[in-house]
Structure 1
């Protein structure tokens, strides 16, 4: 197929995309925003029809010979927002090109040659994952369009915010549900015997997925429009509740489970740094609890120094649950108790705030290992700027989110002069010389086990091996110190 079918399909698919480009480019020139709030003019209807036909021919050339559509797409006045899930590939653009609905997507996408012009034609809402102000503006724009009584085109949103392998639905982001207007859930299925569609964090890359898919003689895709979901008054006031209820409806239609992890958890679990989170880490649970308290890690990062200075002044003094609540400036709740339990040792009902700040630093900046270690050193160091072996053990246990960790050999390797204490500079110099120190000293045995598992067992949901709870009932049990 690589020598016969693939080049033919690739040529025709590329040709159809290039054919669509001038229509989208000309139609996008000089268009004022207010024109979109008016009924479509005759020439715009013609362009829409031509682009839909060209795009459908492109998918046909790619092996999607027929597209099975179930249910009825609601009118914009009935549901201003269409929520699509699961999101697993760039082939999920098929329903977008069929409807020419607006979408919410990464701002970087508009710079893609040819495809970027086609995207601009449908007037998407662009969002930047790294710009917090962009996120706020995105939510406001979605709300404005959704509450326009059908004047704007419908918005298609993939509320998961990232790609998975469709074996479960991860946490829905609340952006599509903040306006509090009815939404129409839309589920996607690719019932192919060989899955060449899935494009996730791990596995085949974008070009390999394209090659494998075009080599398949026929690719099945199914789009099902579920009944419009009308939110209750309680759901309108609570977007997270609204999102969870819609996710439940979609999961039932798909026959899959749900998991309470998010796009940010993927970043945390798979962050590249000198300390890679082991499979038994509790930091994923910690990150989820932080968000459940309404504390956003991306906004807390700038307060880390303030938190660390406050914790350092405590000089290791442990605090109770009420004192912890006062420290975070949040009320005592079940969620706070669960977070507190992650740091409790010896069942004495008190915790060390330095551990909380260290864990928070990892969640806020998962790829910046050395910055977290440096912050922790400042909290634990003595007046002469040194720490002892027990302090290093506390720092690294918390940074990895584990209950037990033997750092004796690592400490001896860093403390070459056998002073019984080290500075951050000593630690930094050692990590510069031996960047793989973690795998050798901290979890070497565990890494060997994980590598064996990776070669024999597939990840349960395409995100990381520890994202799917073994038993949903475990959530009802009290959390223990640094247990996943």
Structure 2
């Protein structure tokens, strides 16, 4: 019998024997921990912890750590290897943990009883919400638009308490990855400008059933496969405390990059300047799935580098579009482009400008910038982007465009240098008028939702096939096109959209 068949048989046996026992015992341990956590978490959550800790709270801490450790043991984590020394709260009030690849990353949280930053909705989950409240997390509310600022202020308040509050464990990547590289760290943990202790995680299992990313097996499948494994391994390494320089205190992004470099070196992996938002862009489920050679990822990186936030720019799309439409195809120089965006001329701006400088004439069409920005801001909303493009490129009489305009729009929307749209244009232009309106395009897209795959790149695989096989352990998700082989930590060479 082949290896795959043996593995399937083993999973089948474990599913009927080990899995239900482990699941029931793990649930029992959570229920056992619940009354202790409930009693200890009564009272205002924002109240400062007493110092020194009362004896009863020390006992509860000990019991909860023991119960949680027993739960992980039941789940197959028989030995948790710990390297290095955990810093005292007065030495480092923040732990930065990476790579973040699984909900099993909760193991170091339960071992240290550190606070974490998490969604406010989590507090309402039965039993689990009570256990979470016990570690006094910093809650982030999606419904509160000012929540991000409040979260940073609360973190600052706690880390400046001289050790009164529990240490805060933060996952600066902001999302789960497959551990082949470290993506861009978010600055939240580094804004307070206090020393942090980097903590790295390793899961040296022969078969990776741990990794849970937004692409690949779902949470329940990961839980099932892991509980079917007789033995699971995890290594937690506490690296030396990192104290920021004066320059790093003033620049949280620099501080984050330097800490990431230290952690990457300890892990033996490289770093990539791409973010989770970039991968969301690449794999967005719109009708215009981005091809593998798109330069829109580079464009998105440059947008962020200019200090422009896509989530805020989305509100200004109509204003940018109207301004571009008024130029009626007129070109801009780099200084005019800077004024258009409201930013100073810089090397980063010049890099972005060159993406749209089709002929090397030092001029660009602002309509292309608006189309590219629309894709980055709302990658899954293909028709919204196309409607905006038709408004800018369409004739004054009926808003129609010709084949050349459609070619320019789609090349920009896909971030490619070459694209043949003749077949698509003729399929939409049933009456052979030589022009089409957005209503024509909309009707065609509704009838043929897979038109891009059929007419634009029928022989080219988009990002859905980008998960190349990296070195063991084999990851379950996170687009491999963002791995170190395809992007370095420094400044990337700029590729023109059109040559």
- Verify same fold: TM over 0.5: yes
- Which of 424, 432, 435 is residue 421 of structure 1 equivalent to? 435
Evaluate the alpha carbon distance shift between residue 453 and residue 177 of structure 1 in structure 2; reply closer, same or farther with a 3 A threshold.
closer
The reply on whether 1:482 has 2:483 as its aligned counterpart is: no
Q: Which residue of 2 aligns with 1:282?
A: 295
The reply on whether 1:100 has 2:76 as its aligned counterpart is: no
SS of the residue 1:83 aligns to: strand
Please list the CA deviations of residues 40-94 of structure 1 after superposition, one character each: whole Å capped at 9, or x if unmatched.
Answer: 2222222211111110110010011111111111111111100000000000000
- The two structures have a TM-score, normalised by structure 2, of 0.92
Given that 1:358 and 1:376 are in contact with CA atoms closer than 8 Å, whether structure 2 keeps it comes out as: yes
The reply on whether 1:462 has 2:493 as its aligned counterpart is: no
Written as runs of structure 1 = structure 2, the 5 A alignment for 1:79-478 is 79-128=92-141, 132-384=145-397, 385-447=399-461, 462-468=477-483, 470=485, 478=493
- Which of 58, 67, 73 is residue 86 of structure 2 equivalent to? 73
Measure the CA separation in 2 of the matches of 1:450 and 1:172: 23
- Deviation, 1:455, is 8.5
Please list the CA deviations of residues 227-249 of structure 1 after superposition, one character each: whole Å capped at 9, or x if unmatched.
Answer: 00000000000000000000000
Please list the CA deviations of residues 22-41 of structure 1 after superposition, one character each: whole Å capped at 9, or x if unmatched.
Answer: 22122222235224264322
- Deviation, 1:347, is 1.0
- Deviation, 1:389, is 1.0
- Which of 59, 68, 92 is residue 55 of structure 1 equivalent to? 68
- Tell me the matched-pair count: 482
SS of the residue 2:87 aligns to: coil
- Deviation, 1:129, is 6.3
Measure the CA separation in 2 of the matches of 1:295 and 1:208: 38
Measure the CA separation in 1 of the matches of 2:79 and 2:147: 38
Q: Which residue of 1 aligns with 2:6?
A: none
- The two structures have a TM-score, normalised by structure 1, of 0.95
Identify unmatched segments of 5+ residues in structure 1: none
Evaluate the alpha carbon distance shift between residue 461 and residue 128 of structure 1 in structure 2; reply closer, same or farther with a 3 A threshold.
farther
Please list the CA deviations of residues 423-449 of structure 1 after superposition, one character each: whole Å capped at 9, or x if unmatched.
Answer: 1111111111111111111111103x8
Measure the CA separation in 1 of the matches of 2:284 and 2:409: 19
Instruction: State which drifts further: 136-145 or 330-339.
Output: 136-145
Q: Which residue of 2 aligns with 1:34?
A: 47
Evaluate the alpha carbon distance shift between residue 469 and residue 390 of structure 1 in structure 2; reply closer, same or farther with a 3 A threshold.
farther
**RMSD, aligned CA:** 2.1
SS of the residue 1:184 aligns to: strand
Please list the CA deviations of residues 436-483 of structure 1 after superposition, one character each: whole Å capped at 9, or x if unmatched.
Answer: 111111111103x87777698899993224223546579667523128
- Deviation, 1:267, is 1.5
Measure the CA separation in 1 of the matches of 2:430 and 2:486: 46
Evaluate the alpha carbon distance shift between residue 267 and residue 126 of structure 1 in structure 2; reply closer, same or farther with a 3 A threshold.
farther
Identify unmatched segments of 5+ residues in structure 2: 1-13
Evaluate the alpha carbon distance shift between residue 4 and residue 469 of structure 1 in structure 2; reply closer, same or farther with a 3 A threshold.
closer
The reply on whether 1:24 has 2:40 as its aligned counterpart is: no
Given that 1:166 and 1:461 are in contact with CA atoms closer than 8 Å, whether structure 2 keeps it comes out as: no
SS of the residue 1:276 aligns to: coil
SS of the residue 1:105 aligns to: strand
Given that 1:69 and 1:224 are in contact with CA atoms closer than 8 Å, whether structure 2 keeps it comes out as: yes
Evaluate the alpha carbon distance shift between residue 170 and residue 476 of structure 1 in structure 2; reply closer, same or farther with a 3 A threshold.
closer
Please list the CA deviations of residues 98-130 of structure 1 after superposition, one character each: whole Å capped at 9, or x if unmatched.
Answer: 111100123343333321221121111123568
SS of the residue 2:233 aligns to: coil
Please list the CA deviations of residues 216-267 of structure 1 after superposition, one character each: whole Å capped at 9, or x if unmatched.
Answer: 1111111000000000000000000000000000000000010111121122
SS of the residue 1:319 aligns to: coil
Measure the CA separation in 2 of the matches of 1:129 and 1:159: 18
SS of the residue 2:79 aligns to: coil
Evaluate the alpha carbon distance shift between residue 428 and residue 457 of structure 1 in structure 2; reply closer, same or farther with a 3 A threshold.
farther
Measure the CA separation in 2 of the matches of 1:258 and 1:251: 7
- Deviation, 1:301, is 0.9
Measure the CA separation in 1 of the matches of 2:111 and 2:132: 13
Evaluate the alpha carbon distance shift between residue 73 and residue 456 of structure 1 in structure 2; reply closer, same or farther with a 3 A threshold.
closer
SS of the residue 2:483 aligns to: coil
Please list the CA deviations of residues 376-408 of structure 1 after superposition, one character each: whole Å capped at 9, or x if unmatched.
Answer: 111111102111111111111111111111111
